[in-house]
Chain A
Amino acid sequence: MNALDQIFVSLQRALAGLAPVPARPLLAMILNIAGLMAVFGTCFALTTILERKILGRMQNRFGPNRVGPCGLFQPLADGIKMLIKEDIVPFSADKTLHFLAPLALTVPVWLAFAVLPFGRNMSAVELDAGILFFFAIGSASELAVFMAGWSSQNKYSLLGAMRAIAQMISYEVPLVLAGVPVLMAAGSLSLPDIVQAQSGFVLGCVPRWNVFTPWGLAGFTLFLIAAAAESNRCPFDLPEGESELIAGYLTEYSGFKYALFFLGEYLGLFAVTGLAVTLFLGGWQAPAAWLDWLPSWGWFAAKFSALIFLFIWVRATLPRLRLDQLLMFAWKFLVPLALVNLFVAAVWWKWPAPLTARWLVCAALLAAPYVWLGRTWNGPTSQERHYHYAE
């Protein structure tokens, strides 16, 4: 445990130590909150510009490159623009709910960061049931989205919000189910314990991360798909599908409230990505023993950035789904696969066979339902399409 690894922990202790003794716990908490908000606020700003630049490159164009060197001050310009825009509230809107909805989205999302272990000894709150807290807090965003859609008194907003509810509730199921095998493996609901359970190496070189097991790989993929849908990312961004719904539940929002929704959406993505890193990629653990000298929070940041890049990459690649396809995909493909994955994880842990045999059997147990479901979930007529009204 070197000094660099614990630099933020010791800095927080030192700063909190400056206060009189009774105020110390409070100050320590405030420092945690300030640190989280500063880091992930900056992360939000950086992601908006990097996402636009990477999307641009993937679509054969430069991204924004006008404001500042390489366009890096673009988030600043966007922020100023958002702040000085007029805040329009529709005449017939429910003004209280309309005002509260962006707050109700952003606050729980910030709370979710409290339990994530960003490095060794680096989680703001060490809850015994951290993952439960995370999912409970995460599902609060549905309420906020529906508040936004309902209070706007606009059919597009309401339709967008209803889509969002249908989508988020459907995808919450595979999201949690994909995470459950990890809890079975770690035998704990506490996120630092889950990270600790993934320490060490198999065969001397492969890290004991969950993603390097058959059920972990399947669970990781399911988790990422469900996470993209949970945070309304492309290809699951139907709630704000501008081709059909103008901007969904965001239609009647402008100025800083709109920016808050944007912030909430990105922070939700960050939180669920952080959880994916924690559950499947070994959290802050280094991928090899000789790389342990790098600080643990650096490893977390690296894995986190890689996953965010993956989300941007997928966004650049895939078009939006149709709503019925989206829901069918959740209930007919992801949920059954997640249940199968639970069973496979049980086989992996309870079957006392050599590693290779377990690997082969578990992979086969996952691959067979994958192929079968993949060929059937969209119905037998998925190849031939009938356009009733066009014929």
Chain B
Amino acid sequence: MLGRGILRGLVETWRNFQGSYYDPARLTTVQYPEEKLPPQENARTIPFLVYDGDDPMAGLRCTACSICAAECPAHCIHIVKDTAKKPDYLGKMQLQPKVFNIDMAVCMECGICAEVCPFDSIKMDHVFELSSSDPDMVLQKTDLAKSNDYFRKIHPTEAAAVDAARAAEQRKAQAKKEAVPGPSAV
């Protein structure tokens, strides 16, 4: 109790004080709006819909199967199937969503929709600066659609795996189509 601890503490705070002017390790604050940390690869915020090619609506991977809407614990996904079909990446005709809405006021960003999607269509985004003065927080499919390039950029590992699997399936389908020329081969 002779004050040695107090002196040691004073030395420590003094080191912090003068070190904060030249030692970056002593001043770790990231001044947010001006400086931003790059997001972690496996970070997730809101869901988005992946599309291939250049036209967002034509290249949408979503087949309106509604598994995500059924699995969503918050029931924030609303899907209406379109009557018109469009070919998917294997050339098969698939359904497509006429309406694909996510109510961001309800979405809790759990990522279950992305996990259950069998078409690698719905994925989790990195954007987080979403505040706006618009009270309507429902995102339409036009707002949700983002390109596969964007997906590759934010989740490179997962996107590479998805791309490889889809390419393999495409090759298999191609081989099947070539292996079945006509009834004479049977």
Interface of A toward B, CB cutoff 8 Å: 54, 57-62, 313-314, 316-318, 370-371, 374-375, 377-378, 382
Instruction: Give the shortest distance, in Å, between B37 (CB) and chain A (any CB).
Output: 16
Known A61-B27, A313-B17, A318-B9; further 15 A-B contacts with Cβ < 8 A:
A54-B17, A57-B16, A59-B16, A60-B16, A60-B26, A313-B13, A316-B13, A317-B9, A317-B13, A318-B6, A370-B2, A371-B2, A374-B2, A374-B3, A375-B1
Number of A-B contacts (CB under 8 A): 47
Top 6 A-B residue pairs of the complex, sorted by shortest distance between their CB atoms? A317-B9, A58-B13, A57-B20, A374-B2, A317-B13, A374-B1
* Least Cβ–Cβ distance between A59 and chain B, in angstroms: 7
Is B28 located at the chain interface by the 8 A CB criterion? yes
Contact of A58 among B2, B16, B29 (CB under 8 A): B16
Residue B40 interfacial (CB < 8 Å): no
Listed residue (B6, B10, B13) with the most chain A CB atoms within 10 angstroms of its CB: B13
What are 20 A-B contacts defined by CB distance under 8 Å?
A57-B21, A58-B17, A59-B16, A60-B26, A60-B27, A60-B29, A61-B27, A62-B27, A62-B29, A313-B13, A313-B17, A314-B10, A316-B13, A317-B6, A317-B10, A318-B9, A370-B2, A371-B2, A377-B1, A382-B1
Q: Smallest CB–CB gap between B33 and chain A, Å?
A: 10
Q: Which residue of B lies closest to A235 (CB)?
A: B6
| Other-chain residue from A54, A317, A378 in contact with B12 (beta carbon distance below 8 A) | A317
- Kindly report which residue of chain A lies nearest to residue B21, judged by CB atoms: A57
Most A Cβ at <10 Å: residue of B3, B10, B12: B10
Most buried by B among A54, A57, A62, A313: A57
Number of interface residues of B (CB under 8 A): 18
Minimum Cβ distance to chain A for residue B160 (Å): 39
Q: Does B89 contact A (CB under 8 A)?
A: no
List residues of chain A with CB within 8 A of the CB of B27. 57, 60-62
Whether B16 lies near A378 (C-beta < 8 A) is: no
- Contacts of A317 on B, CB cut-off 8 Å? 6, 9-10, 12-13
What 1/0 mask marks residues of chain B from 2 to 42 whose CB sits below 8 Å from any chain A CB?
11001001101110110011000011110100000000000
Residue of chain A at shortest CB distance from B4: A374
How many angstroms from the CA of A304 to the CA of B29 in the assembled complex? 31
Q: Which of B14, B17, B20, B26 neighbours the largest number of chain A CB atoms within 10 Å of its CB?
A: B17
Most buried by A among B1, B6, B10, B12: B1
Pair B10/A378 contact, Cβ less than 8 Å? no
Q: How far is the CB of A155 from chain B (nearest CB, A)?
A: 33
Provide the bound-state CA to CA distance between A375 and B26, in Å.
Answer: 35
List residues of chain A with CB within 8 A of the CB of B9. 317-318
Q: B2 near A375 (CB under 8 angstroms)?
A: yes
Quote the shortest CB–CB distance from B3 to chain A (angstroms): 7
> How far apart sit A137 and B10, CA to CA, in the bound complex (Å)?
32
- In B26-66, the 8 Å CB interface with A consists of 26-29, 31
CA–CA, A377 to B3, complex, Å?
A: 13
- CB atoms of A313 and B14 under 8 A apart: yes
Q: Which of B3, B6, B28 contacts A60 (CB 8 A)?
A: B28
Q: Which residue of A lies closest to B15 (CB)?
A: A58
List chain A residues, Cβ under 8 A from B13: 58, 313, 316-317
CB neighbours (8 Å) of B26 from chain A are 60
Question: A54 CA to B14 CA in the complex, in Å?
Answer: 10
Which residues from B are CB-within-8-Å of A370? 2
With a cutoff of 8 Å between Cβ atoms, the chain B residues found around residue A371 in the complex are 2
CB closest chain-B residue, reference A66: B31
Q: How far is the CA of A60 from the CA of B12 in the complex (A)?
A: 11
The smallest beta-carbon distance between B13 and chain A, in angstroms, is: 4
Task: Give B9's nearest chain A residue, CB to CB.
Answer: A317
- How far, in whole Å, are A316 and B11 apart by their CA atoms in the complex? 11
Give the docked Cα–Cα distance between A180 and B107 (Å): 70
Tell me if B10 and A60 are in contact (CB < 8 A).
no
Q: Which residues of A contact B2 (CB under 8 A)?
A: 370-371, 374-375
| B16 cross-chain contacts in A, Cβ below 8 A | 57-60
A-chain residues with CB within 8 Å of residue B1 when the two chains form the complex? 374-375, 377-378, 382
How far, in angstroms, from A318 to B13 measured CA to CA in the complex?
10
Q: Which A-chain residue is minimally distant from B3 (CB atoms)? A: A374
- Report B-chain residues with C-beta under 8 Å of the C-beta of A314: 10
Minimum Cβ distance to chain B for residue A141 (Å): 27
Residues of B within 8 A of A375 (CB): 1-2
